[in-house]
Copies of this chain bind each other. A is one copy, B any other.
Amino acid sequence: MAKDMTLYWGSGSPPCWRVMIALEEKNLQGYNSKLLSFEKGEHKSKEVMDVNCRGQLPAFKDGKIIVNESYGICLYLEDRYKSKGTKLIPDNPDEMALMHQRMFEGLTLFQKMAQSLFYTRFVPENERHASAEERNRGELREEVQRWENYMKCDYLAGKHFTMADVIVFPVIAFLFRFGLCEEKYAKLAAYYKNLKDRPSIKSTWPPSWKDSPGMDTLKSL
């Protein structure tokens, strides 16, 4: 089954990573794993553009079926392979509701993170303002604090690992990779450390992170 699947991905990208975690959790190992380099522009190659006309990673094929957008791929895998591997959408209505909410609040966390960390990548030089950079950093701080306050259980939506963790864990890992303070955000750090060794996460850890040190951009956040 998984041998007919192909995933195009880039190392360290939270959207790519979450799909790899979902594939592991659904026991869909053995897919064709195509690691591409953003730096070399390989995500704009014809091979990728044929699958994803946006030239974005992840791009995914399941046999002849194409599905892109990281949230879309994760939910497709759960809907299509419901009975395989980990059940990622809980039946319990409370957990189901919280899972859906956290999953989509994850979009805001990612957006605030990208907006602050990649300001100079997204904004042309002549349009940059110190006031905007400061505001973005303030918004990221507020958002991260919100998630710190959310942490009451072992997982994002309660006592069980769910799709919310598949989706949001890579973003939280990214924050720590960029130096987020483990003492100030102690609950998020505990969550991060707890999940780091989960097989689906350990086996998909970004290869580019293994041999290089992290950054300290968010040390004082």
The residue from B66, B100, B101, B127 contacting A132, defined by CB atoms under 8 A apart: B127
The residue from B80, B93, B129 contacting A80, defined by CB atoms under 8 A apart: B93
A76 contacts chain B at the CB level, 8 A cutoff: yes
- Decide if the interface of chain A is mainly helix, strand, loop or mixed: helix
B126 touches A129 (CB 8 A): yes
Query: Closest residue of chain B to A164, judged by CB?
Result: B72
Name the distance in Å between A124's Cβ and chain B's nearest Cβ. Answer: 7
Interface core residue of A62, A89, A127 (most chain B CB under 10 Å): A127
A104 contacts chain B at the CB level, 8 A cutoff: yes
* Complex interface: chain B residues within 8 A of A62 (CB): 93, 97
B79 touches A96 (CB 8 A): yes
Docked pose: A98 CA to B68 CA in angstroms: 9
Name the distance in Å between A76's Cβ and chain B's nearest Cβ. Answer: 5
Query: Closest residue of chain B to A61, judged by CB?
Result: B97
Q: How many copies does the complex hold?
A: 2
Using a Cβ–Cβ cut-off of 8 Å, how many residues does chain A contribute to the interface with B? 34
The chain A residues found within 8 Å of chain B, CB to CB, are 53, 62, 65-73, 75-76, 79-80, 89, 93-94, 96-98, 100-101, 103-105, 107, 124, 126-127, 129, 131-132, 146
Q: Which 5 A-B pairs have the closest CB atoms?
A: A69-B104, A72-B100, A67-B97, A72-B104, A76-B100
Query: Closest residue of chain B to A101, judged by CB?
Result: B72
* Complex interface: chain B residues within 8 A of A67 (CB): 97-98, 100-101
A100 with B127: in contact, given A105-B69, A107-B107 (CB under 8 Å)? no
Name the distance in Å between A135's Cβ and chain B's nearest Cβ. Answer: 8
Interface core residue of A67, A94, A132, A146 (most chain B CB under 10 Å): A67
B131 touches A100 (CB 8 A): no
* Complex interface: chain B residues within 8 A of A126 (CB): 129, 131
B69 touches A97 (CB 8 A): no
A75 touches B100 (CB 8 A): yes
Query: Closest residue of chain B to A70, judged by CB?
Result: B104
